[in-house]
Amino acid sequence: MAAADKYRMFHGRTPQRQSEVDFHVPKQLVYLGEAVAVEYKCRKVNGGGTGKTEVFRHEFESPVKLCMDERSGRQLYIIGNKLIVTEAGIEK
């Protein structure tokens, strides 16, 4: 599925713009600790959103690892075998 399709699924609307990002595929990850929750601010109509900018918080019930890339430390990874992103949001 293309990035625009994933955006549409998650936000419930078409993206207004697209941009390229510099992404490094790491050979190793550096473990930072256990992630307890993820919190983000966005404007979406799916997953209980109202279309207005809101803060969404998802607390993790099972252990989830927080890691960074080995090269620059500028990319974070949340790794958990029960995490999935759907139109309802981040599910665990």
Domain membership of residue 79 (yes or no) is yes
- Range of weakest confidence among 6-10, 16-20, 36-40, 46-50: 46-50
Token pair, residue 8, equals 């549409």
- The residue with greater pLDDT, 19 or 32, is 32
The total of structural domains in the chain comes to 1
Domain membership of residue 18 (yes or no) is no
Domain membership of residue 19 (yes or no) is no
Domain that holds residue 35: 3-12+26-91
pLDDT for res 83: 79
Domain membership of residue 20 (yes or no) is no
pLDDT for res 1: 62
pLDDT for res 34: 95
* 43 vs 10: CA distance, rounded Å: 10
**CB of 48 within 8 A of CB of 87?**
no
Domain membership of residue 81 (yes or no) is yes
Q: Between the CA atoms of 9, 91, 74 and 27, what dihedral angle is there, to the nearest 10 degrees?
A: -100
pLDDT for res 60: 86
Q: Write out pLDDT tens, residues 31-90.
A: 999 999 989 898 888 777 788 888 988 888 888 999 999 988 788 999 987 778 877 777
Domain membership of residue 17 (yes or no) is no
Token pair, residue 47, equals 């997953």
